[in-house]
């Protein structure tokens, strides 16, 4: 009794199965090796770094503001402390 010829016999499926396996392995390797970080993650890292740097810049600006204020007000505040008579 002869086997009925099927559309998917083993001789026809084997090369396609091997091709599919190699393709899947290559795809997975390329996914792992060539993964670039998404742009959203890069931007999040950038914002986190800016947030860490910004308080230092703001502190420097505040010191500059305070020093300007002291330079302007120190003569006015020092005037009452000067002696009234020169002896």
pLDDT for the residue 1: 47
Q: Please give the model's pTM, rounded to 2 decimal places.
A: 0.37
* DSSP string of 16-36, one letter each residue: HHHHHHHHHHHHHHHHHHSPP
pLDDT at 52: 67
Whether residue 65 lies inside any domain: the answer is: yes
- Quick: pLDDT tens for 34-86: 776 678 888 888 888 876 666 666 766 767 778 888 888 888 888 888 888 77
User: How many domains in the chain?
Assistant: 1
Query: Is residue 68 in some structural domain?
Result: yes
Do the domain assignments include residue 8? no
Token pair for 16:
């396609």
Q: Cβ–Cβ contacts within 10 Å for residue 80, how many?
A: 7
- Rounded CA-CA distance 65/25 in Å is 62
What is the domain range of residue 55?
Answer: 36-73
Q: Is 28 within a domain? A: no
- Among 2, 25, 68, which residue's Cα sits nearest to residue 60? 68
- Residue carrying the six token digits 């931007």: 43
49 assigned to some structural domain: yes
| Residue 47 covered by a domain | yes
| Distance between first and last Cα of the chain | 136
């Amino acid at each position: 009794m002869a086997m009925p010829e099927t559309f998917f016999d083993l001789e026809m499926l084997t090369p396609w199965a091997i091709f599919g396996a190699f393709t899947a392995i290559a795809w997975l390797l390329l996914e792992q090796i060539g993964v670039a970080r998404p742009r959203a993650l890069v931007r999040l890292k950038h914002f986190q770094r800016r947030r860490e740097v910004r308080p230092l810049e703001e502190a420097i600006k505040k010191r500059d503001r305070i020093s300007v204020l002291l330079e302007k007000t120190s003569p006015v505040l020092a005037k009452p402390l000067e002696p009234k008579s020169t002896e």
